[in-house]
Each structure stands twice: as structure tokens, then as C-alpha cells.
Amino acid sequence: MNRYFSAFWFRPLLAISFITLLLAVGPELLGVKSAYLTTDKLIFVLFAGIVLLVSYIHQKKHLLEPWRQVFRQRRAMISLVVLVTYASIGMLDSIHFRTPLPDSGHDNQQYSVESLSVLDVMLDRLRSQEEKTYSAPFAAYLYSKETITHADGSQSREYPRLVYGGRHLADPARDRAGDILRTSLIGIVLGAVIGKLLCLLLAWRIARASQQKVMALWWQIWKGQTELPWRSLFLTLILLSIAITSAWMLSKYYHVFGTDKVGKDVLYLSIKSIRTGLVIGTLTTLIMLPFAILLGILAGYYRGWVDDVIQYLYTTLSSIPGVLLIAAAILSIQVYISTHPELFTTGTQRADLRLLALCVILGITSWTGLCRLLRAETLKLRELDYIQAATALGVKNFVILGRHVLPNVMHIVLIMVVLDFSALVLAEAVLSYVGVGVDPSTISWGNMINGARLELAREPMVWWSLVAAFVLMFALVLPANLFSDAVRDAFDPRLRESR
């Protein structure tokens, strides 16, 4: 059988086909209409590419060994759990659909203009439980006083009770602390049980792959006697499960991170912002790579006038302030959207186009650094004996570039991709803060920080939107940086030689 249709390719292709069929047919079977955005489709393509790439690496020992070195490090395994959790949330938030309107008939079914995601359905309670305005974390009252008219006609200035937060408490001042403690303990116990069950399921899968007994492997893991630091991964999984379950239990009765100016739950906004950060970090990288790899290798290999033109191109591009290019592109997209409203069915589609435009312009303006590195590495590689021998034997230049040069610069590409991811996530926050980022209707950490900017100057200060955005962003950027350090240590030839 042809090697491309061997069992190595069959399983991932079968999994991708099944997921594609489920995404295409699933919404209609559930009575809703699929409403996939452009960025949703790109995320699915990226996911399929990652599945195929992992399957390919798994079959190649020389490619698998550096990744084994990555995952032998505890920080890499811990970071992997956190990053997979964020990626899972982003995938759930990328499956969009529109619900049918209740008053429309079967023959002429009409659908809502609002696009929801699977994550919205899972967090429906947080999404729908809106208060009147600001409320502090775990509060039972609004954050500002209002004039209350009593039954006898008298008026007083008081803090009104929240509609949802702490509504089950008869006396919040007396009962709230104990209720939060009891609910947290229940969440901790339930999270520990769920986390341990997940660890047992993963241990069973590892034991089956390595042909070991589950309990024997379980004790080896908890004693730290395995090649890979599974114990660190299991402990992180349990702690993450406890944190998620505790937040879930508390969110039934309280607004864990409070509410914003229009009464929306800040925890819900923080979780919804994850997809925006991941889209900026991943799609921008995919747009940047073709420019950086192609131009960097061509400049280093051909030298001469090709090198001069490419150097002039990225030097000129680097001299232009990136914020000006981004602002010009975003304003152009905004004008296009305003003059062609018939092309967009929902406001979500308009906001998604602006998000995609931001990814494109960030990709176009951020490829210069990687291009310089690849040019310098290619200049060194082209002088090596095996490439000189291939040239002397008459091997075509593009064959040499694809077979000898490109594989030997991929460690630089991989390191820079992982390093740039966290920088791009932070770039979205900065750009949205200055007003040239994502659409104001798009939920993102940058828009949350921008909205909280003016509230920090009021009295009393509204601080929780800023803190919530910072905590969720920090919990993504820190593992991404730690994972990138582990990748650099495993793939950088100079570091390998020093070890």
C-alpha cells in the first residue's frame, strides 16, 4: 500500500474527517444553524495541521527525540497542561451557531442574528445573569448607592441588593463568609476527585501504550521514577481541576470577579477573551511564517541582488512605526465595512473581519526579525560541504533549499514561533488599549483593560476588571514563555553542545 495511505496517515485523517463531518452536520441535527466565522475555519485548519504534524513527528525518531528532551523538563509538562486547557477553551468558543427564532414556522424558519458558541452554552448562567451596574467580587450589593423609596414614601441612599449575586443569603453580612468557605470546600473536594479520575484515565492510556500494569505504573509515577515527569503533569492537572471546579461552584451563587459597568459578569468576559488572544497569537504566526522563511532563505542562499532587494524591503518595513501601519489598515477595513453592510449578516462577522485584518497586518509587520535570523543561518549553511557537493553535482537550487537548507533552519523557526506567541498576545492588549486593536464589540483582554482604564480614577475605584484580565493573560503568557524556554533548550544546537 502506498505509504501516504498507511496506518500512520489513516488514523489522523480519519479523526479529522470525523470532526469535520461533526462540525458540518452537527448544528443542523441539533436544530440550529451553523455560523462559522472566517477565523473559526482557520482555527480548524490549524488544528488539522497540528494533528498531522504530531502524527508525522511521532513516526520519525530523529524528530521525536528533541521533543522528548522538551517533555523531560517539568516546566514543559506543567506549561503543556495549562496551554492545552486554554486551547480547549478557544476551540469550544470557535464553534458558532445561530438559534431558531421561536415565532417562525417550520416552512420559513428564521434564525437569530446573534451568533453563539458552544462555550456560550456552557457558560449560559454567567452570560445571562446580568446586574444593573458595577458590583465587587463576591458582593451581594451594588458598588454604588442609589436612592431607595420605601413603602411609607420615605427615601434613603443605600446599596441595593444584587439580582443574582448572593441572592440566596438572608443576611449577607452574617452568612456570606461562611457560605463562600463551604462552597469553596465543596469545589475543592469535587475538583480533586475529577482531577484524580482524569489522572487515572491518562495513566491507563499510558500503561496500555507501554504494555504495563496500571497500578504499577501509577506508583512509579507518584514516586517520580518515570522517564517523563508525569507526576508534575498529574499534580498540575489536579490543581487546575480544583481551580476550575471551585470557580464553577462559586459562580453559581456569586460573581467571582464582580461585574462591569453594564452588569456583565467579568469572569465570563475574561474566559471569552481567551479565544481572541489565541487567534492573535496563532493566526498571526501562520501569516508571518511564509514571508520570513521564503525571503530569509532566498536572501541567504542566492545573495547578490536578491539579498540586496530583500534587505532593502525588510529594512524599509522595520523603519516604519508598526502602530501607524496597523492603524491605517484597521481604518481602511472599517471604511470597507461601513460602505458594504450587505456583506455581513451579523455584527459578529463584522468584528471577525477586523480581527482577521489585525492578524494579517501584524503578520506582515512582524516577519522581519525571523527573516534576518534565517538569512544569517542560510549564509552559513550554503558554505558547508554537503551543500557545495550538491551544487557541484548539478542538483537544482530549489531541491537544495527544500531538502538541505530548510530542515536545518527549522529549529530557529520553531523557537521563534513559540517565543513570538506570547509577545503577540500582549500586543493585542496594547493595541486595543490605544484604540487600534480589535473591534470594541469583540470581547478581549485589551478591551477589558481599556474599559477599566477610566474606572481606576473614580472613587471608589473599580479594579477587578483590570485584575481579572491581568490574571487570565498572565496565566497564558507565563506557561507560553516557560514552554518556549524548554523548546529553545532542546532545539538550539549551541545549547545541546554545551550540555
| Residue 104 in domain | no
| Residue 112 in domain | no
Whether 249 and 275 share a structural domain? no
Averaged pLDDT, 166-178: 86
| Residue 117 in domain | no
Least confident of 17-21, 73-77, 340-344, 402-406: 17-21
Residue 153, pLDDT > 90, answer: no
| pLDDT in the model for residue 487 | 83
Characterize the bridge pairing of strands 33-34 and 155-158. unpaired
Long-range interactions of 109-115: CB distance < 8 A, separation 24+: 111/32, 111/33, 113/345, 113/346, 113/347, 114/346, 114/348, 115/35, 115/37, 115/346, 115/348, 115/349
Q: pLDDT per residue over 294-307, tens digit each?
A: 999 898 888 888 88
Whether 18 and 90 share a structural domain? yes
Split at pLDDT 50, 70, 90, the class of 461 is confident
Whether 190 and 89 share a structural domain? no
Which one is predicted more confidently, 424 or 235?
A: 235
Mean pLDDT of the chain: 82
Averaged pLDDT, 226-231: 86
Averaged pLDDT, 74-89: 91
Averaged pLDDT, 196-205: 88
Averaged pLDDT, 169-198: 90
Characterize the bridge pairing of strands 116-117 and 155-158. unpaired
Is the Cβ–Cβ distance between 272 and 93 less than 8 Å? yes
Whether 245 and 308 share a structural domain? no
Q: Domain boundary at 206, 228, 253, which?
A: 253
- Tell me the whole-structure pTM to 2 decimals: 0.87
**Which residue stretches of 303-405 are H helix?**
304-319, 322-339, 347-365, 368-381, 385-392, 397-400
| pLDDT in the model for residue 271 | 93
Domain tally, the chain = 2
Nearest to 355 by CA among 436, 469, 449, 448: 436
Whether 338 and 394 share a structural domain? yes
| Residue 333 in domain | yes
Residue 138, pLDDT > 50, answer: yes
| Residue 115 in domain | no
Q: Whose grid coordinates read 507518584?
A: 222
Residue 272, pLDDT > 60, answer: yes
Highest mean pLDDT among 24-28, 137-141, 194-198, 283-287: 194-198
Q: Domain boundary at 219, 237, 253, which?
A: 253
Whether 214 and 286 share a structural domain? no
Whether 228 and 174 share a structural domain? yes
Averaged pLDDT, 406-427: 82
- Give the span between the Cα atoms of 63 and 252, in whole angstroms: 47
| pLDDT in the model for residue 496 | 56
Split at pLDDT 50, 70, 90, the class of 237 is very high
| Residue 43 in domain | yes
| pLDDT in the model for residue 3 | 45
Nearest to 96 by CA among 114, 109, 111, 123: 114
Whether 269 and 142 share a structural domain? no
Whether 161 and 239 share a structural domain? yes
Q: What percent of the chain has pLDDT over 90?
A: 12
Domain range spanning residue 468?
Answer: 2-99+261-498
- Give the span between the Cα atoms of 234 and 263, in whole angstroms: 37
Q: What percent of the chain has pLDDT over 70?
A: 91
Who's near 102: CB < 8 A, 6+ residues apart?
none
The DSSP secondary structure of 216-262, one letter per residue, reads HHHHHHHTT-SSS-HHHHHHHHHHHHHHHHHHHHHHTTS-TT-B-TT
Averaged pLDDT, 78-103: 86
Whether 454 and 490 share a structural domain? yes
| pLDDT in the model for residue 12 | 56
Q: pLDDT per residue over 29-70, tens digit each?
A: 566 777 788 888 888 888 888 887 887 777 778 778 888 888
Averaged pLDDT, 482-499: 71
**Which residue stretches of 30-123 are H helix?**
38-59, 61-71, 74-92, 118-122
Which CATH number goes with the domain that contains 7?
Answer: 1.10.3720.10
Averaged pLDDT, 244-263: 90
Whether 138 and 279 share a structural domain? no
Which one is predicted more confidently, 69 or 20?
A: 69
Residue 26, pLDDT > 80, answer: no
Rg (CA), the chain: 26
Whether 271 and 221 share a structural domain? no
Q: pLDDT per residue over 322-360, tens digit each?
A: 777 888 888 888 788 778 777 777 777 888 888 888 888
Q: Domain boundary at 230, 253, 276, which?
A: 253
| Residue 163 in domain | yes
| pLDDT in the model for residue 181 | 93
| Residue 220 in domain | yes
